[in-house]
Amino acid sequence: MAENSFPLITRDLSWLSFNYRVLQEAKDPTVPLFERIKFLAIYSSNLDEFFRVRMANHRNLLRVGKKTKKELEFSPKQIVRNIQEVVTKQQEEVSSIFENEIIPELKKHNIYLKRRLDLNEEQREFVEDYFKDHMLPFVQPVLLVKDKIRPFLNNAALYLTVLLLAKDNPEAPHEYAIVKIPSDHLPRFIKLPSPENRHDLIILDDIVRHSVSWMFPGYDIEDTYSIKLTRDAELYIDDEFAGDLIQKIRDSLAKRHVGPASRFVYDREMPEELLESLKDVFDLEKYDTLEEGRYHNNFDFFKFPDFGLTQLKDPPMSPLPYRDLEGAKDFYKAIKERDHLLHYPYHAYESVVRFFEEAAVDPNVTHIKIIQYRVAKRSRIMQALMNAVRSGKQVSVFIEVKARFDEEANLVWGERLEKAGVKVHYSFPGVKVHSKLALVRRLESNHERMYAYLSTGNFHEDTAKLYTDMGLFTADKRIVSEVARVFSYLETVKQPPQPFKHLLVGQFNLREGLEALIDFEIRKAKAGKTAKIILKMNSLQDPTMIKKLYEASQAGVNIKLIVRGICCLVPGVKGLSEKIQAISIVDRFLEHSRIFIFYHGGRERIYLSSADWMVRNLSYRIETCFPILDAKLRREIKDYINIQLRDNVKSRLLDEESTNDYYKNGSDMAIRSQVETYYYVKRKLDNGAKQGGNSK
């Protein structure tokens, strides 16, 4: 718990607790085997990003020597120590899950991960031929000579360190070398010649281990140990407000993969003498090193071969059509008649794609506007925008090029769109644009009519199959006029002529609007009236908002939180937060929607949003929080939230100790919210078909 006038859980430790919930899915025997392997990959991928971003920041503070609490609100040294302790413990569990659970389960299905000493003669010949034919040009063996040879380790690349003894002088001290494991060029899992009805595999690392003696003639190989270095991913733009920001981002991207070390991982079996030598060669401090198991880069498990054994995967939950839009003869008339709310990935994303494809060819459409934060590599939406320009439409795209790890892809898309004639607007200095908005303007009977799409998630056709999000199609003038104001601001950087009345928009009224809604509940509770708040989000970290929620709890407001990731609020503290209950749901889909429900004296206010409650979202981003004005859609969202609150299969209780205990709500029936939601949406679809096509 961080020192403060009120209790807070340290952000990074809360995040590590979330990543442990991902690891819980890998250890859950009820999860299909290949999905457990996938969750190992997700855990590893998450952790890599954490070290490249968050841990890199703490280590930079350590390097410059800022240690006092007067300079910072925390001690970087203590934070780094705490993180290392937690991650080391988790990595021991990762190794145990893989060795003691995953490998035995694979064997039950005739899948064998073989090490080099387990190979039969045919497989040894195969491995040796594979090394010579495919790997030899990439392994780059290097002898490590103190103070003379200091090779550069590529970011996240895998290497073997080799413990050598000279054959002609066995009494001489050990020598050391490194060899690259070329997983950036070749598959990590190689299929071996196998008997019928059996699948033998070898990990690429072990092919290098088998072949390493050929690379060092004159030496005996005493042992090998794997290592990996991840590098700081921050772009470090000196001054966003001066010069060409886009060019600065391009220049910084070129340097990202040569940044300072953020984590050096090594096989925990490595001798101390070798580790100390490596620290010296690569100029590493103790706080740069972290022990793991025999293998690193477990995110390569994303590509673990499935051998066609689909029964070892999650059963299909194919996205369901939203017939009221997908099947509409007049797409925009269907939106004009009423608002439409879609739930992804339970609904297909086709309606969103059609929104743009229809606009591109509709002769009555004059303008199309969209905000892009992350975009698919192959995007029908982007193609529709380029087609729209060719059809004479005015197309405006705001591209946020500071979307971490998507900067380069967004710059590439920006160039393609500009070449096609699209008007592209780029990032603001000092502020990220994170709103998920689109707007289409049509001329109907010589009058202007606007249609908007507002969402909790990105315009990304791929993640729409994996992330739970909600999207609203509307022609309601109260909403679309304010969406148009957001775009006008992004295009002109001029204060909107009218304030936002319905939307809550970052940099304008978002933080104040949310605080006002909480204050309303506080006043009602103090007056002895019913007061309730339900909040669903990815992260809750903003200290001001947490303090406000504590105040609400103390006043008697009942608060339920569903927070997937970081939760710095401490629920259930007597006299402070005993009216607050917090859960987290981690399952096959990534929970991504942000939903805020305020009882508001019985006249419920329900909002969907692009914003989590973090300092960066509420203070340094253009975010959008939009109300659901249609009563039927509000009931639908409440149904969805109630299903989540009843989850007693994939829901974990959030508490100060980060125990991640599974939440048991006393129900005799197992309720898994993502499965329940899918069938909730399916029932509405089937009932709509029976009633003549109205899927609502």
Compute the residue count for the chain. 696
Q: Is 455 helix (H, G, I), strand (E, B) or coil?
A: strand
Distance from C-alpha of 490 to C-alpha of 266, rounded to nearest angstrom: 47
Helix (H, G, I), strand (E, B) or coil at 616: helix
DSSP letters, 483-499, are: HHHHHHHHHH----SS-
The three state secondary structure string of 209-263 is HHHHHHHCCCEEEEEEEEEEEEECCCCCCCCCCCCCHHHHHHHHHHHHHHCCEEE
Task: Give CA–CA dist 574/580, Å, rounded.
Answer: 10
The answer to whether 54 and 74 are in contact (CB under 8 A) is: no
Report CA-CA distances (Å) from 665 to 22, 167, 489.
21, 67, 46
* DSSP bridge partners of 2: 8
Q: What is the radius of gyration, based on Cα positions, of the chain?
A: 28
In the residue annotation, 340 being an active-site residue is answered as no
Nearby residues of 673 by Cβ (< 8 Å), 6 or more positions away: 585, 587, 643, 644, 646, 647, 649, 650, 651
Dist. CA 682–CA 615, nearest whole Å: 38
CA nearest to 398, candidates 471, 458, 487, 482: 487
Q: Identify the active-site residue in 210, 347, 434, 592.
A: 434
3-state secondary structure of 319: coil
Percent helix, strand, coil in the chain, to 5, is 40, 20, 35
**SS3 label, residue 573:** coil
Distance CA 180, CA 282 (A): 15
By annotation, the residues acting in catalysis are 434
